Copies of this chain bind each other. A is one copy, B any other.
Amino acid sequence: MSETMKAAIFVEPGKMAVEEVPKAHLEKDDDVVVRVVRACVCGSDLWYFRGLSDHPRHSQIGHESIGVVEEIGSEVTSVKPGDFVVLPFPYSCGKCPVCKAGFESVCPHGGYFGASQAEYVRVPEADGTVVKVPGSPEDYDDATLASLLTIADVMSTGYHAAASAEVKPGDIAVVMGDGAVGLCGVLSAHMLGAGRIIAMSRHEDRGALAREFGATDIVAERDQAAIDKVLEMTGGYGADAVLECVGSKQSFDTAIGLIRRGGVIGRVGLPHDVEISAEGTFYGNIGIKGGPAPVRHYDLHAGLLDAVLKKEINPGRVFTVEFDLDHIQEAYEAMDQRKAIKSLIRF
């Protein structure tokens, strides 16, 4: 294939580039190739951009995008060229017991995208993976396109935190993390009817968006001071549900400290040095659930796609800056330096 496309390349920690690479193409009969319309940078991309976790150097990256189907493999039946689709960050068969139980993100036949910050992307197992959107991108305003982009990962991940934490109407929910996922966790807790939503945030812009998304209280304290504060706010009993959207030991230990006995911690932050006490959680009847978010399940079966299309929710508000692909370095830096909550890439 002599055709090429532009793609973001992770060169080394702190350094991104844009290069011409072979254009994404069909490799298997159940693949589709999608022309990307919007992509973005994920908080999890910052781990290797900051050199805090390993990632192959000089490799394509990105796992959140929406776009238009360009080509389909011979076995694909659910979409055709020209269809508008959301691409969940996990791909999945859609047919096995794990997928049928609503956990496509851990489908043993699936995997994760790693090349969607690019003009085109190959989608494996398309029929079990893509989320079809009515019409075409031109039918939607920029705000709706931004919100559709969030249900490829960040909004669905926030929802997984809330659903895993078993947020129920009237609950007191605490959200650990004020990044885009945490903010979407606030919105999700609100969707599930939480009566009081306490967002842990010490950044004014994020706290403001948390309030817009439904937070009733903002707590700036950390560690024991944060635990004391939440216990004081809850008559000493703690929060019914905690959405753990960070993944650090510090955040998890705080979650354990402020959860009510019998409560559930829903965790979506990739765990780094987290330790779970088998005894402590048992004698407090504390539940621990969560993991990589089954995006497609929530988009289609928990109503996220519908809610975005009906403008009932506007999770795209987490994108506070926007770049073209040529400025991918700036897109990463804006998030790394906390100048932006989340960077959108427009094609």
Chain A interface: which size bin?
A: 35 or more
* A262–B277 CA distance with the chains assembled, in angstroms: 21
Tell me if A103 and B289 are in contact (CB < 8 A). Answer: no
The minimal Cβ–Cβ distance linking A43 to chain B, given in whole angstroms, is 16
Residue A178, interface by CB 8 Å: no
Residue A287, interface by CB 8 Å: yes
Residue A226, interface by CB 8 Å: no
The minimal Cβ–Cβ distance linking A88 to chain B, given in whole angstroms, is 14
Q: How many copies of the chain does the oligomer comprise? A: 2
Chain B: CB-nearest residue to A105: B285
Tell me if A237 and B108 are in contact (CB < 8 A). Answer: yes
* A237–B102 CA distance with the chains assembled, in angstroms: 14
Q: Give 1 or 0 for each of A165-190: 1 = CB within 8 Å of chain B CB.
A: 00000000000000000000000000
In the complex, identify which listed stretch (A7-15, A141-149, A264-272, A323-331) lies at the interface while the others stay far away. Answer: A264-272
Tell me if A101 and B260 are in contact (CB < 8 A). Answer: yes
Q: A101-B262, A237-B96 are in contact. Are A106 and B275 (CB under 8 A)?
A: no
The minimal Cβ–Cβ distance linking A141 to chain B, given in whole angstroms, is 34
From the candidates B97, B278, B283, B288, name the one contacting A237 in the complex (CB within 8 A). B97
A-B contact pairs, 22 of them (CB 8 A): A97-B235, A97-B237, A97-B240, A98-B237, A101-B260, A101-B262, A101-B263, A103-B262, A103-B285, A106-B285, A108-B236, A270-B282, A274-B278, A274-B279, A276-B276, A276-B277, A276-B288, A281-B291, A285-B291, A287-B287, A287-B289, A288-B289
Chain A interfacial positions (CB closer than 8 Å to B): 96-98, 101-103, 105-108, 164, 234-237, 240, 252, 260-264, 267, 270-271, 274-279, 281-292, 294
